[in-house]
Structure 1
Amino acid sequence: LLMAYSNFQDRLLISLQTRFIPMCDAGPAHWIEFPASDLLPAAPPQLSPPSTSIPPPAKTSLFQPAPKNLAPDDPDWTAVSYDDLQIRLENQRQRQTRLPIPDWSDIAKHLPPGLFHGPSNIVWYRIVFGYAPELATPYEIFMRTAGAETAADYDRIFGQSLFWITTRAIGCPYCMGHCEMNWEVAGLTPDEIAQRSRVLSSNDWSSFPAGEQLAFAFARKLAKSPGSIAPADLEGLRLALGVRQALTVMLHASRHHYMTRISNGFQLTLERENVFYDFWNVKRPGEA
């Protein structure tokens, strides 16, 4: 888990410490300015870690087209088709996790009160809390706190799409499967989920808004070549999304590398049933 933390923290620092990257070959290095007044919420969020909860995702419109495709083509991106990605997901469902999966009764002994409303069937949670609760607990509090603070202006379907980009870039079928599950909980139909995945796995993202395209391109670059992140990448996010949203994208695109590195490192078995209805405390379709 320490290596996973490093992947997360290094990428976040790379995103923020742009003063080490010159604007051009001869130009001075500098910071991208993010005024503090633009970052602070109007009122302090009402949080009580570790029992903070994340508001359930809401369904939004699927596509809001931009005039053109803004992301540079990546020949490697289309080397694996959508159908091939689905085969990888099925293979992950059949794969056996490299570590014994702890029983929830053993995990619960080490959890702060209120962190979960009951046993979780998410394999990732059972591994991280079962083997390293001293690292997993603060990350979970951070993740929920960040979710609560950004929920008002961070669309969950877009957020899972950003996560999908990272899972595709580093080849993590376990977390890619979780993206599909979270889209379903948010209200997307199987056809809509397949459509979104097909478009994201292509080199044409023009059916997404300009800001989302730039965010996807940033996440892909941060995953594949983090050392090449430049001030122009961050300035593009700021101009397209605004200061708060740009920083939110940087934060989430970075933290995804903690989750995916654990999933890949231990080759977690992808759950066949959607385990996120219980996590979000959302009723399944057809439930009264």
Structure 2
Amino acid sequence: MFVKRSCLFLMLASAGAAVCLADSPVKTPRPIPATRPEMKELLEDMKQRPYRIPLPELTDKEQEELGERSTNYEARLRYNYVPAVEGTIFGGARPRPAAAPGTLAPAHAPRMDFTRNADENMTLTYQFKTMLFWIVSRTNNCQYCLGHQEWKLSATGMKDDAIAALDADWSAYSKQEQAAFAYARLLTYEPHRLTEAEIHRIKQHYTPLQVVEMTMSMSGNNAINRWKEGTGLPQSAGNTFTGRGGPAAPATAEHADNFTTPTSEKFRSKISIVAPLEIFNGKPSGQGFSSRPELEDRDEVQAKLASVATRIPRLPLVDKAPAAAWLQESGQAVPVTSWIRLIGNFPNEGRGRLPSLVAREKQTGELTELQKVQLNWIIARQDRAWYAVGQAHKKLMSLGQSEDQIFRLDGDRTTWSEADQALFTFAQHLAASPIALTDEDAVLALKLNSPAQVVQTINHVASCAYFNRVTEAAGLALE
């Protein structure tokens, strides 16, 4: 049985939108369902989830500029609290090629379905990427995103048993697909294990460019999970994804607006092989656990950074000249670094993410430049994203931070203000895994910081989740 949280509904002035605020903060993360019926119950329960972040009263100006989205909580969060110059790590939405389930789309096929920011050289299908998004969201226990992927997969024609198999029986899928599923879970939950051997394993089934494509896609999924969970968005009231599976998809989807559809006997009691379940007395406890090891000491970090400086990238990078031209076209006056050349493999998708990634190292809102780079260090250390660790170290030194100050970010943060400590802890929990974040973490951060600072921290964590995964999967060398 899952206990629903009581809510107090407040009407947004002039908006007619209900905002659900919790009576008291919840001290534990949302439960992690072990079986498919339990998962469906929680997805439906998510529709009653209380919002975490308070909003100001709706103004005439905001209502005019947002139009029909002025009743949308997420749109209002971004409008009021996220600097426009940062854009979004999610990028924009453009249609891309459709293909039969389980097949690769031709590189220059007409764009028919709705994957974000499609590039002509992308070859992985909408359905396949959505399956990976499902696995990422299940691993992160992002029940908002998980519900959306349920609807999207249903819209492509997948039956409930096929979706259930993603969670409990990968033998229903090809060896190639299973390799991608395992990579999705590794990239999401254990990025510290992104070794040369792991990347070699996935490259046995996919071309290097396809590995870049799925890595960028799944890193974006991880970013979205952290934004949705960080802001505590409730589940959408109804299915808005019908028709997104391309022309070959069925006219009607198996999944209705209500998530609590019947589950077949085959999968009714099967335990998830994707969710990071804590087992207590032989049974899932409903809570997750983090597999991240203890942080390395200073000597180990410095030795690691020295070795990373000479490593050879394990995924393709575009040449410097086209990368420079792409940056100029995108209006970004930044150096042509390795990470630019990496995401430049897919310029349309990369362009949508550039503003958010570039903003990671400069002040654009209420978070200072120093706070942002301190967060970069904290999050990169959690992820063992050594390229990002090296970048953060170099930037912190340029901002006048000593080695002692930098390495104190790994543990003893008592020399920082209570407000900074609350932001750092909130970011660390959200970055390590959304399964570790609680409403209480958010309440403390909001008590000591403004809503804008907290929302900008969430947005920043999302950008780091993307950056850390793509750069470490590629094995980039420090510049």
Give the TM-score normalised by the residue count of structure 1.
0.66
Which one-letter code corresponds to 1:12 in the other structure?
W
Whether the aligned pair in 2 keeps the contact of 1:18 and 1:230 (CA below 8 Å) is no
Give the equivalent residue in structure 2 for 1:199. Answer: 408
Residues 14-48 of structure 1: CA distance to partner in whole angstroms, max 9, x if unpaired? 1112557xxxxxxxxxxxxxxxxxxxxxxxxxxxx
Measured after TM superposition, the shift of residue 110 of structure 1 is 4.0
Give the equivalent residue in structure 1 for 2:255. Answer: none
Secondary structure of the residue that 2:312 maps to in structure 1?
A: coil
CA separation in 1, counterparts of 2:332 and 2:355? 11
Whether the aligned pair in 2 keeps the contact of 1:77 and 1:201 (CA below 8 Å) is no
Given the alignment of the two structures, is residue 128 of structure 1 paired with residue 337 of structure 2, yes or no? no
Which one-letter code corresponds to 1:223 in the other structure?
A
CA separation in 2, counterparts of 1:11 and 1:173? 21
CA separation in 1, counterparts of 2:426 and 2:368? 17
Give the equivalent residue in structure 2 for 1:51. Answer: none
Give the equivalent residue in structure 2 for 1:220. Answer: 428
CA separation in 2, counterparts of 1:13 and 1:255? 13
The 1:10/1:152 distance shift into structure 2, 3 A limit, reads: closer
Q: Unpaired segments of 5 or more residues in structure 2?
A: 1-215, 236-289
CA separation in 1, counterparts of 2:374 and 2:361? 16
Measured after TM superposition, the shift of residue 270 of structure 1 is 1.1
CA separation in 2, counterparts of 1:201 and 1:144? 24
Measured after TM superposition, the shift of residue 177 of structure 1 is 0.8
Give the equivalent residue in structure 1 for 2:355. Answer: 141
Measured after TM superposition, the shift of residue 135 of structure 1 is 1.3
The 1:79/1:123 distance shift into structure 2, 3 A limit, reads: closer
- Identify which of 210, 218, 226 aligns with 2:418: 210
Q: Unpaired segments of 5 or more residues in structure 1?
A: 21-73, 272-288
Alignment of 1:1-288 (within 5 A): 1-17=216-232, 19=234, 79-111=295-327, 113=329, 115-117=331-333, 120-129=335-344, 131-143=345-357, 151-186=364-399, 188=400, 192-202=401-411, 204-271=412-479
Measured after TM superposition, the shift of residue 250 of structure 1 is 1.2
Give the equivalent residue in structure 2 for 1:67. Answer: none
CA separation in 2, counterparts of 1:145 and 1:182? 13
Larger radius of gyration: 2
The 1:243/1:200 distance shift into structure 2, 3 A limit, reads: same
Measured after TM superposition, the shift of residue 141 of structure 1 is 2.8
Whether the aligned pair in 1 keeps the contact of 2:385 and 2:468 (CA below 8 Å) is yes
Measured after TM superposition, the shift of residue 245 of structure 1 is 0.7
Secondary structure of the residue that 1:153 maps to in structure 2?
A: coil
Whether the aligned pair in 2 keeps the contact of 1:180 and 1:193 (CA below 8 Å) is no
- Normalized per residue, which structure has more helix? 1
Whether the aligned pair in 2 keeps the contact of 1:97 and 1:268 (CA below 8 Å) is yes
The 1:94/1:265 distance shift into structure 2, 3 A limit, reads: same
Whether the aligned pair in 2 keeps the contact of 1:205 and 1:213 (CA below 8 Å) is yes
Give the equivalent residue in structure 2 for 1:33. Answer: none
- Normalized per residue, which structure has more strand? 2
CA separation in 1, counterparts of 2:233 and 2:440? 10
CA separation in 2, counterparts of 1:79 and 1:142? 27
Give the TM-score normalised by the residue count of structure 2.
0.41
Residues 32-88 of structure 1: CA distance to partner in whole angstroms, max 9, x if unpaired? xxxxxxxxxxxxxxxxxxxxxxxxxxxxxxxxxxxxxxxxxx9x7754101111111
Residues 102-130 of structure 1: CA distance to partner in whole angstroms, max 9, x if unpaired? 22222245445362447x3411111111x
Bigger mean CA offset, 259-268 vs 133-142: 133-142
Where relative contact order (Cα < 8 A, 6+ residues apart) is larger, the structure is: 1
